[in-house]
Amino acid sequence: MHSVATRENLSKDVLRRRLLLVFFGLATNMGIKRVAVTDKHCESEATLRRVRRLFVNRADMRAALRKLVNVTFAARDETR
C-alpha cells in the first residue's frame, strides 16, 4: 500500500538557500518564476513556490524586511 502523503527532509542549508531565493524574488518584484529561470542555483520554480507556500507569509516578510533595514542602518551608523 502506498501513501499519498509525502515528507521531505531538507537540510538547513538547502532551506536557507531556497528561502533566500524566495525572499529575493518577492522583495525585488522580480518574482519566483524569473528567479527560477536564471538556473544558476539549480532550484526549480516548483520547489521555490513550495517553500514560499509552506514557510513565507506576510508577517514573516515584514519581520525579515525589518531585520534587514535595522542591520543596514546599524552598519551605516558604524561607518560615520
pLDDT of residue 62 exceeding 90, the answer is no
Alpha helices in the chain (DSSP H): 12-27, 32-37, 45-55, 58-79
- Three-state DSSP state, 4: coil
Helices 12-27, 45-55: inter-axial angle, 10-degree rounding: 90
Scored b (16 or more CB within 10 A) or e, 20-43 reads ebbbebbeeeeebeebbeeeeeeb
Reported as a single tens digit per residue, the pLDDT across 12-38 is: 999 999 998 998 898 888 899 999 888
